[in-house]
Amino acid sequence: MDIVLPEKRSRMMAGIKGKNTTPELVVRKLVHGMGIRYCLHRKDLPGSPDLVFSRMKKVIFVHGCFWHRHRGCRFAYTPKSNTPFWVDKLEGNMRRDALALTALDALGWQVLIVWECEISDLSALARKVGLFLAVDR
């Protein structure tokens, strides 16, 4: 049973952002600090990736663990109330993510997914992102 009234829950859920989230801003600041420039949310690419590195043909998605179902993560739980709705919604997100990854791969783009829970360890995140963005010379 939900401890919040439906009207308040609706307002709370409507306030959740899809772009410019805290995890996304952390990744953007990290990449910018590496001296690498990027474009944001290109709608002409499948899934509208969060960061796009056109010359490298690489993209980064910054996924929320709850919304995109990060396997094994404590934040990827299923709510106890209105469970059928949430299962359908979250599985739909996962299907849409898989389609975007397949389409990007078919177009020759490399993809990195950064999970929300990974921003707590900035040095590990910097290594992961740095390895992905390393330019072959």
CATH of the domain at 74: 3.40.960.10
| Chain length of the chain | 137
How many domains does the chain contain in total? 1
Instruction: Give the pLDDT of residue 8.
Output: 79
- Average confidence (pLDDT) over 60-80: 93
Tell whether 32 is covered by a domain: yes
Angle between helices 22-33 and 122-133 (to 10 degrees): 60
Instruction: Give the pLDDT of residue 14.
Output: 64
Domain of 39? 17-133
Instruction: Give the pLDDT of residue 1.
Output: 61
Q: Is the CB of residue 57 less than 8 Å from the CB of residue 108?
A: yes
